[in-house]
Amino acid sequence: MRAFNRVVMILILAGLLVLGGFALVYAAGLFGYEISALPISGVVAGVQGFVRGVEGGNPSSLTVAALVTVALTGIVLLVAEIKPRTPRRVRMDEGTYVARDVVKERAEEAARTVPEVLEADARTKARRRPGAKVVLTAKVRPGGEVRVLTKAVRGRVSERLGEDGLPVARIKVEVAEVDPRQAKARVK
């Protein structure tokens, strides 16, 4: 969203620069150009009529819709530009960072050490504070005790990441029951 906002602002500022340059040339009478020679009286009268209609309290529904759309678009673009982007790396301590892939790989390895887990897939998200959010999907055989397995996987992942010194703010474990023949990993 930042790139889109920057492109929009560059276009608006470039347009204002060009308009300002033309206004300067015509206002100062440079190169033989004069403001009286411009055919802008119709445009100025139209803008004045529009502003008077809005100020008078009788705008059309199309005008109101257009003004509300412009205002909402401006608010959305402003919030998107002001909101800080999410960090790319996981913050460990003061000034120490680690790549998200490292946390992801270690979480997957730890989940695969639980005997019932056939396959594990993790998604990590860095936070502005120390630690990462980990969402882990563990694929297991059907018929297992899901709550017990979820707790075991969460505990093992938390323990392993703690041993490695990788801070984790939140670990969410999702257990998916799959046929062992459809798992990518070898059946244990």
Residues in the chain: 188
pLDDT at 183: 66
CA distance 155 to 148: 11
Task: Classify the phi-psi angles of 78: left when phi > 0, otherwise alpha if psi is within -120 to 50, otherwise beta.
Answer: alpha
pLDDT at 139: 85
What are the sequence ranges of the domains in the chain?
A: 2-82, 89-182
pLDDT at 186: 55
User: Which ranges of the chain have pLDDT less than 70?
Assistant: 1-2, 26-29, 33-41, 182-188
Q: Give this prediction's pTM.
A: 0.56
pLDDT at 26: 66
- Name the CATH superfamily housing domain 89-182: Cation efflux protein, cytoplasmic domain (3.30.70.1350)
pLDDT at 114: 84
pLDDT at 16: 81
| Inter-residue contact 115 to 91 (CB < 8 Å) | no
pLDDT at 5: 73
Q: What burial class does residue 79 get, using C-beta atoms within 10 Å of its C-beta: 0-12 exposed, 13-18 middle, 19+ buried?
A: exposed
